[in-house]
Amino acid sequence: MAAATPIGCGRGAAVSCIGAGVRIVTCTSVYHPRVTAPVLELRAIAKRYEGNPVLKGVSLTAAAGEIHALVGENGAGKSTLMNILFGMPVIRETGGYEGEILLDGKPARFDSPQQAMAAGLGMVHQEFMLLPGFAVAENIKLNREPTRRGLLSRVAGRKLETLDRARMGADTRAALDRVGLSIDEWALVAGLPVGHLQFVEIAREVDRSRARVVIFDEPTAVLTESEAREMLRVMRDLARGGLAILFITHRLDEIFEVASRITVLRDGEVVATLDPARTSAVHVAELMVGRPAKVAAAHVVQTHGADAPAPVLSVRDLAVAMPGERVDGVTLELRRGEILGIGGLAGQGKTGIANGIMGLYPATGSVAVEGRPLPLGDPRAAIRAGLAFVSEDRRGVGLLLDESIELNMVLTALEVQGRFLRKFPISGLRLANRKAVRAHAQAMIRRLDVRCTGPAQQVRRLSGGNQQKVCLARAMTQEPRILLVSEPTRGIDVGAKARVLEVLTELHLAGVSLIITSSELVELRSICDRIAIVHAGRIAAVLPPDAPDAAFGLAMAGEQDLAS
Amino acid sequence: MSLASRARAGAAHHSVPILFATLCLAGALVAHIKPSFLASEMLLRFSRNGLLVLSLLVPILAGLGLNFGIVIGAMAGQIAAILVVYWGGSGIGGLGAAALLATPIAIVFGLATGMIFNRAKGREMVSGLIAGFLANGLYQIVFLFMIGSIIPFHSPSMVLPQGYGLRNTVDLTSIQYAMDDLVPLKVAIEGSAVRVPVATLALIGLFGIFNLWFLRTKLGQELRAMGQDPHVAAIAGIPVERNRLIATILSTVLAAWGQLLFLQNLGTLNTYNSHEQVGMFSIAALLVSGATVTRATVPQAFLGTILFHTLFVVSPLAGKALAGDAQIGEYFRVFVAYGVITAALVLHAWRKERE
Amino acid sequence: MSGPADPVTGGAGEDAGGARGGAPGGPPAPPADASPPPGPVSRVRALARAAGVPRLVIGFFLIVLFAIAVATRMDVPGLLTDSLARIARNGLLVLALLPAIRGGLGLNFGLPLGIVCGLTGCVVSLNAGMKGWAGLGAAALIGLLLSIPVGWGYGAILNRTRGQEMMVGTYLGFAAVSGMSIFWLLAPFHNPQLVWALGGIGLRTTLSLSGAYDKLLDRFLAFEIAGISVPTGTLLLFAGFCALTALFFRTRWGITIAAARANPRFARAAGISYTATRTQAAILSTALGALGIVVFAQSYGFVQLYTAPLYMAFPAVACLLIGGATVSNATVLHVIVGTVLFQSILTVALPVTSQVVQGDISETARLVIQNGMILYALTRREKR
């Protein structure tokens, strides 16, 4: 696939997609990428973080004049790849990388962002690398300012040369014009609207005389629709001007507007390199998320009487302000004793639902547990109502890394439910019952098969999978009626994965109702009774696990009509 | 915006210095201080402390916050002064020699302080404060116990009778007014002759101009970038750690020279006390002008010096007039100094929190 | 301003994929295999490493000084008596720092805030002419009551100044002490034993406790052994508070405070407010500080007003750090070991060295050790 030259499709060309229906996908017709040797080539890039392979031999190329889209879920390895390419120190500090980077056919190695930039690489970051107190021109010229030699500098060195503000202004004006931004080059960045900032970043890259390759890292994430369209236009112009562009995103509609090639990254590997004219958003969505579900067919679990019972948790018009995972109005019900799965692409909002129900982020709407309304934004109330949560961010939210396994396991139950405490009139001053804690921890360690040296071991020392088991144990210790689990098997080894899924099934059989949020569609289809797919902050579809693959793909790509 | 609303906005923005000016004025009125006395005191104290306050500007620019470590620079200046007097220097030649001698000492001290700052990122101010205390202890060890015993020092007038340890006061009349009187000028205000230290003021002005010029250089721009966001600066290739060392060294050297200007005006050196409050008073003076932990300009440095040191003079006199006890005034001015620094620190941390 | 946070990997890199500029967390080491039991040499070395360089160095110097004292036939029992007295005197003040560190406030340089509360208690009780246990109790009670609103306000300010607590605390303490100085000058205290003879207004700089409750605790159940006078009452009080504090951090409240500091986001998920626990820690620290100065005053025999409390936080902090604590972690053991080591070396240094060196080298040595220790703690790159 990679060798084929993408052909620009004619404007208004119709592309049929898998499944029913025909969808018009427009590509820009004016765009004809030249057939040239690639400017940038990555060969078999591999990287491990502490023994865990994060990139497993990624190869791709970027040619001048083309926009090459790189898509993948969070955790697929995109950020690591960019860190390697850009010479970020964290790569060196954690053992370097394998594989080769070739610039114009010659091997190159970048040990710092400055080296990468000097060689012609530019990056428009996700987080703006701008100084708010500086003017636009000062930002664009940061550390590359044109200077004038003066008296003192002849004595004391280059650093004391005065800045040539006239030339700074002129160069900046030219760069801004190239990008189509009409703001004053001496305006302070702090006063600019957010939409302009991205363009200032681009202008900075473009100003570099030797810029050959520009990497755009999720550039439209914080832009409005019209700003995003402007951004894409700028991208096309820059490509036409001869730059090679790597466009990292997971917004599928944008890719199909500008990209001439798509590479899908999953779990550190290149899954496919596609010609946008010969594929569809649905196909790309499927590739991003998992292997086609044929493999999982054997694991479809029998639903046991999940059609009659009353809802144990009902959510109405839930909107959650979780950065990056906004929820815009979700209505669903969890029936007693069922396992409900929530799936969808990253950034579409699936993670926000459980977080919003548990009160970790500001939310509006209504949630009721067993018919009783649950106050939102109050984690304590949620816990007291019988909900327990295993967060997707296990190191950030889920654990006290420097504390013992046993403390981590009993903490929520101890603090909120007042368990594992000895008697004392003042409840706040009740001593922790060490023996009970230890006994409970040992029982949990046995049940979950946590590989450790003992209940007193520091949680930091455990592997990812075992840490996840500790998080699960803490939720189980609360003896919840409803368990919300986010990304239960993300980034953990196969053995731990299996055990975690087993335990979840055991809980289910014991009568606990579960909501599992996961990016692994295969996993959801293997143990859930129903699966809700989230797109753009709303439920796109609620499907049984044995629904056709296409249905899942369509829902995730947002091609499905909104099912309420 | 109408004139009235613009005036109100201006007043709000400059509330701190306005408050102080009002306090000074009120105190001066209450204590019936003669304007000539006030004018001469302001002139005197400005020329004495101006350079010390200026030395704080570069670290603020570079994002190091308030350099409580200028005490260490002051010590370098003092060491040079002691040595020059010991070797019999006098006049402007002696002062110049002291400045020359103080420079390498201050560079070494500044380098050490800068390395401490680099190891204590995020805690520069508190580390500078403690480093100052520690340096004071080491200074005492050298001058209380090693001078005359381990370090040969043959000057009975400077050494304690027990044979080692420097006396509490060192007479600096040999270099007194060396700079002040370089261009001798005395102005008569209301009958009394007021000494105008032309050369000193010119020197301070020169350093002020140097500061302004420095902002327009490549290095100045790099420091400004670091002061706003060290991460962005680092990604752009600016050598952040190295520049922090340079900024600290510059500050320490200026503080050393500043202390020399201070001492040549005073004429005596309190061996163990002169430098102690230098940090606190200079910082309070800077902050009184409305400067903050992250932003301070040359005009603010000058304005603050004048305001703070005026309050310094006025407060005990006002206390005596109001309550019959000068002591209240003395406590009050110290309280003001501490209070101003506390307020600036709280405001700074509060703003940082909100980002 | 930043792009969308990575929800799955929490922005700070997980096992799969590192975020920009941030390395994923600590090593997920495989479970330790059973290793052969450590031999004596490696055990000593492990102990030494655990003890830490500062403790070893100071311990070494202490032993050397005592050895010199014995060799030069000094009054060793007298030295030990003085050491015990100083340990007992300062212990509670050092302990006061513990809730602040465990609560996430760092080194509580704002200890003078609690100290002036305690001093006010002493002054009020003295002014009312109270003596004995009643006087001591009243001083402690008043100090304690004052410390609650003061600690609450202190906590409120610290919560708005996260990241700069140490600096803000230092200068709040300084400002409070100098503000109180004005108060001592103007306050409505009229007991002739306390105020200046001339004018009758304004408290004296130092107020004597003799006749009131001077050494009341020290002498309680005091006994002599081998020529050493043991200030039992104060030591018992210190030990008691140490035990209570250690126990406190095993109670629900204490565990909550410590957990909130360890991971505020974790705490949030359990419905715990990190802001609330920090304020509680500030109140506890200030209250212990108030009690600590009352104990200090009765042991010392004088109530020192005006600028005396200005720098009192620093020796206490140094004691704690010498005991092995860091800016983010401290235990009761650190308090005890540190107080014993630091106070002993201060007590012993002057008499021993004055045989050789004229002048008070112990004061200078104190400055160097104390501030050197604090600076070392501030510039340590802590292992994460």
pLDDT for A324 equals 79
pLDDT for C105 equals 95
Tell me what the mean pLDDT of segment C347-352 comes to.
82
Q: Give every CB contact of residue A245 below 8 A, 6+ residues apart in sequence.
A: A62, A66, A67, A68, A213, A214, A215, A216, A235, A238, A239
- pLDDT value at C243 more than 50: yes
Residue A137's alpha-carbon distances to A169, A207, B85, B344, C319, in angstroms, are 6, 11, 52, 31, 52
Q: Does B86 touch chain C (CB under 8 A)?
A: no
Q: Which CATH number describes the domain made up of B15-345?
A: 1.10.3470
Q: Which two tokens stand for residue B91?
A: 């006049």
Task: State whether C164 and B131 contact (CB < 8 Å).
Answer: no
Residues 232-261 of C with CB under 8 A from A: 247-248, 250-253, 255-256, 259
pLDDT for A26 equals 30
- Element (H or E) spanning A412, and its range? helix A405-416
Confidence of residue A75 (pLDDT cuts 50, 70, 90): low
Residues of C in contact with A396 (CB under 8 A): 10-12, 263, 265
Task: State whether A159 and B217 contact (CB < 8 Å).
Answer: yes
Q: What is the chain C residue with the closest CA to A125?
A: C3
Q: How far is CA C275 from the centre of its chain?
A: 22
Residues of B in contact with C161 (CB under 8 A): 345-346, 349-350, 353
- pLDDT value at C16 more than 60: no
DSSP B159: B
Q: What is the CATH number of the domain that holds C372?
A: 1.10.3470
- Element (H or E) spanning A84, and its range? helix A78-85
- DSSP sequence for A282-327: HHHHHHHH-S-GGGGGGGPPPP-S-SSSPEEEEEEEEEE--TTS-E
Q: Nearest Cα to C255, choosing from A403, A83, A40?
A: A403
Note whether residue C106 is domain-resident. yes
Q: How far is CA C247 from the centre of its chain?
A: 18
Q: How close is the nearest chain A Cα to the Cα of C270, in Å? A: 6
- pLDDT value at B249 more than 50: yes
- pLDDT tens digits for A18-31? 333 323 233 332 23
pLDDT for A23 equals 31
Q: Nearest Cα to B258, choosing from B33, B100, B54?
A: B54
CA distance C1 to B186: 58
Mean predicted lDDT score pLDDT of chain C: 84
pLDDT for A477 equals 95
Task: State whether B137 and C367 contact (CB < 8 Å).
Answer: yes
How wide is the angle at C-alpha A269 spanned by C-alphas A265 and A273, nearest 5°? 55
Tell me what the mean pLDDT of segment A447-456 comes to.
91
Contact A352, A361 (CB under 8 A): yes
Q: How close is the nearest chain B Cα to the Cα of A403, in Å? A: 26
Q: Does B218 touch chain A (CB under 8 A)?
A: yes
Q: 3-class DSSP state for residue C136?
A: helix
Domain that holds residue C280: 54-379
Q: How close is the nearest chain B Cα to the Cα of C340, in Å? A: 22
pLDDT for B1 equals 62
Inter-axis angle of helices C332-353 and C53-71, nearest 10: 40
Task: State whether C251 and A430 contact (CB < 8 Å).
Answer: yes
Q: Which two tokens stand for residue B46?
A: 């400005």
Among C35, C266, C331, C381, the strongest candidate for a mutation testing the A interface, having the largest count of A CBs within 10 A, is C266
DSSP C29: P
Subunits close to C (at least 3 CB pairs below 8 A): A, B
DSSP A432: B
pLDDT for B46 equals 93
Task: State whether C162 and B341 contact (CB < 8 Å).
Answer: no
CA distance A126 to A140: 17
Residues A513/A519/A520/A526 CA torsion (nearest 10 deg): 20
Across A137-146, B97-106, B127-136, B164-173, least confident range: B164-173
Mean predicted lDDT score pLDDT of chain B: 88
Q: What is the chain C residue with the closest CA to A399?
A: C266
Across B103-117, B184-198, C126-140, C299-313, least confident range: B184-198
Q: If you count them, how many residues does chain B have? A: 355
CA distance B148 to B76: 19
Q: Nearest Cα to C375, choosing from C316, C311, C339, C327?
A: C327
Domain tally, chain C? 1
Q: How close is the nearest chain B Cα to the Cα of A394, in Å? A: 25
| Tokens 């949030």 sit on residue | C268
Residue A195's alpha-carbon distances to A203, A221, B176, C20, in angstroms, are 13, 10, 62, 22
pLDDT for B147 equals 84
- pLDDT tens digits for B48-77? 999 999 999 999 999 999 999 999 999 999
Do the bridges between strand A121-124 and strand A147-148 make them parallel or antiparallel, or are there none, so unpaired? unpaired
CA distance A159 to A164: 13
Residue A541's alpha-carbon distances to A22, A535, C15, in angstroms, are 20, 9, 31
C-beta neighbour count of A434 within 10 angstroms: 12
Question: Taking the complete model, does pTM exceed 0.80, yes or no?
Answer: yes
Residues 495-514 of A with CB under 8 A from C: none
pLDDT for C122 equals 94
pLDDT for C200 equals 66
Q: Give every CB contact of residue A96 below 8 A, 6+ residues apart in sequence.
A: none
Domain boundaries, chain B: 15-345
pLDDT for C225 equals 84
pLDDT for C31 equals 43
Confidence of residue C382 (pLDDT cuts 50, 70, 90): low
pLDDT for A515 equals 95
Q: Does C21 touch chain A (CB under 8 A)?
A: yes
- pLDDT value at A1 more than 70: no
Among A88, A130, A152, A159, the strongest candidate for a mutation testing the B interface, having the largest count of B CBs within 10 A, is A159
Note whether residue C22 is domain-resident. no
Q: What is the chain C residue with the closest CA to B355?
A: C1
Tell me what the mean pLDDT of segment A369-377 comes to.
92
Subunits close to B (at least 3 CB pairs below 8 A): A, C
Tell me what the mean pLDDT of segment B161-179 comes to.
82
pLDDT for A307 equals 53
Stronger pLDDT, A338 or B9, i.e. the higher one: A338
Q: 3-class DSSP state for residue C51?
A: helix
- pLDDT tens digits for C44-79? 777 777 667 778 888 888 888 888 888 888 888 888
- pLDDT value at C8 more than 50: no
Domain covering A292-386+480-564 assigned CATH 3.40.50.300 in the classification: yes
Q: Which two tokens stand for residue A159?
A: 């650093």
- pLDDT value at A274 more than 80: yes
Tell me what the mean pLDDT of segment C321-346 comes to.
92
Q: Give every CB contact of residue A25 below 8 A, 6+ residues apart in sequence.
A: A13, A14, A15, A256, A280, A281
Note whether residue C29 is domain-resident. no
List every span in chain A annotated with CATH 3.40.50.300: 292-386+480-564
Lay out the sheet containing A52-63: strands in order across: A52-63, A38-49, A98-103, A106-108
- DSSP sequence for A7-18: PPPPTT-EEE-S
Q: Does B123 touch chain C (CB under 8 A)?
A: yes
Residues C1/C6/C12/C15 CA torsion (nearest 10 deg): -160
pLDDT for A560 equals 57
Q: Give every CB contact of residue A473 below 8 A, 6+ residues apart in sequence.
A: A408, A409, A441, A444, A445, A448, A450
Stronger pLDDT, B211 or A268, i.e. the higher one: B211
Residues B230/C1/C167/B262 CA torsion (nearest 10 deg): 50
Among C167, C327, C354, C370, the strongest candidate for a mutation testing the B interface, having the largest count of B CBs within 10 A, is C167
Confidence of residue C10 (pLDDT cuts 50, 70, 90): very low
pLDDT for A123 equals 87
Q: Give every CB contact of residue B71 below 8 A, 6+ residues apart in sequence.
A: B132, B135, B136, B255, B275, B276, B278, B279
DSSP A397: I
Residues 229-258 of B with CB under 8 A from A: 229, 232-233, 235-238
CA distance B227 to B293: 10
Residues C164/C169/C172/C173 CA torsion (nearest 10 deg): -160
C-beta neighbour count of C98 within 10 angstroms: 27
Q: Does A425 touch chain C (CB under 8 A)?
A: no
pLDDT for C37 equals 63
Q: 3-class DSSP state for residue A530?
A: strand
- Considering only CB atoms, C263 lies closest to which of A88, A360, A400, namely A400
| Tokens 């664009």 sit on residue | A140
Stronger pLDDT, B185 or B43, i.e. the higher one: B43
- pLDDT value at A290 more than 80: no
- pLDDT tens digits for A123-136? 887 778 899 999 99
Q: Where are the alpha helices (DSSP H) in A218-270?
A: 225-240, 252-258
Tell me what the mean pLDDT of segment C10-28 comes to.
33
Characterize A46-73 residue by residue with b for buried, 16 or more Cβ atoms within 10 angstroms of its Cβ, and e for exposed.
Answer: bbbbbebbbbeebebbbbbbbbbbbbbb
Task: List residues bridging with A482 in a β-sheet.
Answer: A387, A513
CA distance C118 to C297: 10
Q: Which amino acid is at B342?
A: T
Q: Does A138 touch chain B (CB under 8 A)?
A: yes
Do the bridges between strand A261-266 and strand A269-274 make them parallel or antiparallel, or are there none, so unpaired? antiparallel
CA distance C299 to C295: 6
Report the complex ipTM. 0.90
| Tokens 């922790």 sit on residue | A432
- Determine phi and psi for B83, rounding to 5 degrees: -65, -40
Task: State whether B233 and A163 contact (CB < 8 Å).
Answer: no
How wide is the angle at C-alpha B97 spanned by C-alphas B92 and B98, nearest 5°? 95
Confidence of residue C30 (pLDDT cuts 50, 70, 90): very low
> What is the 3-class SS of B241-271, one letter each residue?
HHHHHHHHHHHHHHHHHHHHHHHHHHCEEEC
pLDDT for C121 equals 95
Instruction: Identify how many contiguous H helices and E strands chain C contains and give both numbers.
Output: 15, 4
Subunits close to A (at least 3 CB pairs below 8 A): B, C
Confidence of residue B93 (pLDDT cuts 50, 70, 90): confident
pLDDT for C316 equals 96
Residues 11-40 of B with CB under 8 A from A: none
- pLDDT tens digits for A417-436? 989 999 888 888 899 999 99
Characterize C53-76 residue by residue with b for buried, 16 or more Cβ atoms within 10 angstroms of its Cβ, and e for exposed.
Answer: ebbeebbebbeebbeebeeeebee
Q: Does B133 touch chain C (CB under 8 A)?
A: yes
CA distance A129 to B147: 54
Q: How close is the nearest chain B Cα to the Cα of A88, in Å? A: 9
Do the bridges between strand A38-49 and strand A52-63 make them parallel or antiparallel, or are there none, so unpaired? antiparallel
Q: How close is the nearest chain B Cα to the Cα of C38, in Å? A: 35
Among C1, C9, C284, the strongest candidate for a mutation testing the A interface, having the largest count of A CBs within 10 A, is C9
Stronger pLDDT, C161 or C350, i.e. the higher one: C161
- pLDDT tens digits for A227-250? 888 888 889 988 888 889 999 887
Task: State whether A134 and B228 contact (CB < 8 Å).
Answer: yes
Q: Where are the alpha helices (DSSP H) in chain B?
A: 3-13, 15-30, 35-54, 57-61, 70-86, 91-119, 124-140, 198-215, 218-228, 230-235, 240-266, 278-288, 298-323, 326-354
Q: Which amino acid is at B70?
A: I
Q: Which of A313-327, B147-161, B186-200 has the highest mean pLDDT?
A: A313-327
